[in-house]
Amino acid sequence: MKIWIDFINTPQVSFFEPIIEGLSQQGHTFILTCRDSSNTVQILKQKKWEFTIIGDRAEKGLVNKLASFPNRIRKLVSFLKNKKIDAAAGQSSFYLPLAARILGIPSLYTNDNEHALGNIPAFIFAKKIILPENFPIQKALKQGASKKKTSLYPGIKEGIYLWEKGEEITKHRKQSEPKTIYIRPEPQTAQYYKGKTNFLDNLLLDLKDSFNIILLVREKSQFEHYTAPQFKGISVPDKPLDFTTIAKDCLLFVGAGGSMTREMALIGIPTISVYQGDLLGVDKFLIDNGYMQHIPELSSEKLLSEISGSEQKSSGDLLLKKGKNAYQLLMENIINLQIKRK
């Protein structure tokens, strides 16, 4: 079976990596497309997968995003129409379900962000919807999902691709002394993000002379901002770092939202979310159950007090076990989408 996957942002590469590997071992093949956003193209190149960039870089602002939506749909349909695809799967790619419907391809759509407006067309046109158990189901129904085609998977999205790595990383951390503070800035180009930009500047300036800090920027404009002379002493990689590399050396993780923050919390790394907008249901679950803290106005004094007594309250073992079950559920549902060709 030939499966189409569309990546519109960086975390989706990690999400689909074990699924692509597992289905490839069963003899299935893939057509991969992506939008040039954040670090997506860089990471796909690191994986050495064959892929095609469809559409320009992500637009800033809701009006620009809406205007570019039909143009990318048109380009996707044109590129895929003669590829004889049997099924499509996307994680928060709002384009995929509509393009697949136009082409007569059954699609699976999943997302853990209930604030994303793109869920509306995706829920309407997808054949199958799979959401995390902490997704507010009533919100999904209001956005166009139907109970008949919607299922919930156990745990959180990040467990789907971390369940195999978690034990190894935890063992390594117990045998070493992590020394680096990793910080991930805000997703400033995301449609759902309504918070401030560059709000971590003062925190970084306060900490840079006392700690080894690695700043994991999302895009070129952030790289240019944080490599200015005033931030000298802070390491700003120009290429995405491997998750395992970060996790093994991370003393404390500070994230302004997104999958990477939940990844670190999931495997037991002391984690502080400084996200400025409305929290997702999955983030509220992690905070309420002690996997991470939410301190949107984080000061250097508060961060130092967290380091001095930083022991993560909850182990991610249960969520990793749920992640394995969710992975198997997704694999089964993708296979069950296959077109029965004559």
Mapping DSSP to helix (H, G, I), strand (E, B) and coil, where does residue 146 land? coil
Is 3.40.50.2000 the CATH number for 2-161+322-335?
yes
Report the topology of domain 162-319. Answer: Rossmann fold (3.40.50)
Residues 6 or more apart whose CB falls under 8 angstroms from that of 176 comprise 248, 249
Q: What's residue 68's pLDDT?
A: 80
Please, what are the averages of pLDDT over each run of 10 residues along the chain (342 residues)?
A: 95 95 96 91 93 78 73 96 97 97 98 94 98 96 97 96 84 80 89 84 94 93 95 94 90 93 92 92 94 94 82 70 96 88 46
- pTM (predicted TM-score): 0.88
Q: What's residue 342's pLDDT?
A: 40
Residue 293 in contact with residue 284, Cβ under 8 Å?
A: no
Q: How is the chain split into domains, by residue range?
A: 2-161+322-335, 162-319
66-89: b (≥16 Cβ within 10 Å) or e:
eebbeebbebbeeebeeeebbbbb
For residue 254, what is the enclosing H or E element?
Answer: strand 250-255
Residue 218 in contact with residue 38, Cβ under 8 Å?
A: yes
> Matching CATH topology for 2-161+322-335 and 162-319?
yes
Q: What value does the CA radius of gyration of the chain take, rounded to a whole number of Å?
A: 20
